[in-house]
């Protein structure tokens, strides 16, 4: 399936923050309900142990994504030293604060905008992007990977979608129905989320559009292979593929340097 980089509402600088936060809160809740990233936790844990990192430094965190579930899965797998830092170009601070509280102090966040294409001042850790790499055009996506290689830090890219017509149909079904069902249960509570879901349904409509575009923007494993091959010679080991879970696929790319730096 080809890649088409149409616009997503969440990427627009002028997009109202209340609607953007409503969308990222809904997506976080979806990730929590379906727990799709559990399929890649064994690979992530192995890469963290290989590189000696116990902290994830997450870029493009949106509403906090699945970090609470990743925390639980890694700790259940024996990684008790786990911690994480959330960051985003448009940080959803109420959601970040809620995730931090729910994590028992294991997950923190950066309150200032962080651009994954040129991050600066990041704490040391294993760099991750969950459900966000498709936001970048090929030159930008390459820059994200190149920046990690230049700094000698491991990086993991995880997309909870498949690049297929079937995925487009599933997104249409899920994003047409689920915002109306799930919204009352999303935390932290927000009156604006109720307003822009039920009375003025901008959150469901814009989420549906962004859901379609996400599949069209998605990088397949073959496309990720080409991005990695375009990087200057490096000592990284790259794992690229799909992990299967009951609700679909997670496309992953994990890059680890030959030795921790």
Mean pLDDT of all residues in 78-107: 95
pTM: 0.95
9-256 CATH: 3.40.50.150
The gap from C-alpha 215 to its chain's centroid, in whole angstroms, comes to 14
- Radius of gyration for the alpha carbons in the chain, expressed in angstroms and rounded: 17
How far, in Å, CA of 81 to CA of 69, rounded?
Answer: 15
Domain limits of the chain?
9-256
- For residue 246, the model assigns a pLDDT of 81
Least-confidence region, from 49-53, 85-89, 163-167: 163-167
Mapping DSSP to helix (H, G, I), strand (E, B) and coil, where does residue 243 land?
strand
- Is 199 exposed, middle or buried, given 0-12, 13-18 or 19+ CB atoms closer than 10 A? exposed
pLDDT tier for residue 247 given thresholds of 50, 70 and 90: confident
Cβ atoms of 236 and 251 closer than 8 Å = no
**pLDDT tens readout for residues 211-234:** 999 999 999 999 999 999 999 999
DSSP secondary structure code for residue 195 in this structure: I
> Where is average pLDDT lowest: 84-88, 111-115, 165-169, 246-250?
246-250
48 is written with which tokens? 């963290």
* Rounded (5°) CA angle 80-85-86: 130
**What φ, ψ does residue 178 adopt, rounded to 5°?**
-70, -35
């Amino acid at each position: 399936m080809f890649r088409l980089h149409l616009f997503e509402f969440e990427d627009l600088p002028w997009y109202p923050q209340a609607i953007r936060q409503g969308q990222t809160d809904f997506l976080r809740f979806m990730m929590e309900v379906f727990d799709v990233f559990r399929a890649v936790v064994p690979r992530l844990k192995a890469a963290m142990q290989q590189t000696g990192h116990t902290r994830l430094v997450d870029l493009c965190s949106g509403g906090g994504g699945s970090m609470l579930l990743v925390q639980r899965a890694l700790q259940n797998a024996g990684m008790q030293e786990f911690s994480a830092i959330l960051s985003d170009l448009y940080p959803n601070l109420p959601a970040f604060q809620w995730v931090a509280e729910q994590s028992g102090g294991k997950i923190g966040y950066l309150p200032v905008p962080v651009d994954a294409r040129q991050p600066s001042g990041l704490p040391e850790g294993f760099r991750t992007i969950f459900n966000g790499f498709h936001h970048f055009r090929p030159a930008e996506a390459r820059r994200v990977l190149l920046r990690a290689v230049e700094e000698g830090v491991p990086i993991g890219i995880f997309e909870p979608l498949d690049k297929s017509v079937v995925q487009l149909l599933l997104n249409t079904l899920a994003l047409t129905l689920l915002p109306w069902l799930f919204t009352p249960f999303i935390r932290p509570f927000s009156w604006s989320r109720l307003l822009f879901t039920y009375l003025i349904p901008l959150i469901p409509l814009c989420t549906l559009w962004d859901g379609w575009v996400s599949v069209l923007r998605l990088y397949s494993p073959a496309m990720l292979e080409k991005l990695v091959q375009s990087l200057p010679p490096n000592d990284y080991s790259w794992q690229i593929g799909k992990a299967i879970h009951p609700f679909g696929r997670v496309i992953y790319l994990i890059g680890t340097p030959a030795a921790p730096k």
